[in-house]
Amino acid sequence: CYVIVCDIPADLTLESIDGKLFHTHSANLSTFSDGFPPATIAPLQGEVVKMSETADVLEILLHFMHPDREQPNLRILSIELLAGVAEAAEKYMVHSARQACSLKMQSLVGYHPLEVLQYATKFNYPEICDVAAP
């Protein structure tokens, strides 16, 4: 597991698009998201699952799905990294991350209206569209 103090054995390895490996828990992924396969459908032992997200995005997303980790501080992310995390949260249906990202995106409408509008339109957040649209 990529978490330093973790007693749960890692049974799944994810590889980011930029080559970083994350040893994680299929049970956590299936518990905290609706977009990963259930833990009962684990990949073959030693198989590495290639992901389309960068290491920075995956690391933040995985923090949302680990019970021994504090939720990530989205306030310190660049708009580009936040957009990547928000897209991955929507893709993998990580509901805690989806909620946190939508709140953070809405708070940035005054600074990044175009990026926020693109996000809100793509993922069907009409209340954020209404705030972001000129």
Which neighbouring-strand residues pair with 15? 21, 50
Tens digit of each residue's pLDDT (9 = 90 or more) over 47-83: 899 999 999 999 999 999 988 778 999 999 999 999 9
Which residues touch 26 (CB under 8 Å, ≥6 apart)? 11, 12, 36, 37, 39, 42
- Residue 12 is predicted with a pLDDT of 87
Confidence at residue 10, expressed as pLDDT on a 0 to 100 scale: 83
Length of the chain: 134
Q: Quote the CA–CA distance of 30 and 26 in Å, as a whole number.
A: 6
Instruction: Taking residues 85-89, report their average pLDDT.
Output: 98
Helix (H/G/I), strand (E/B), else coil: 71: coil
What confidence score (pLDDT) does residue 60 get? Answer: 96
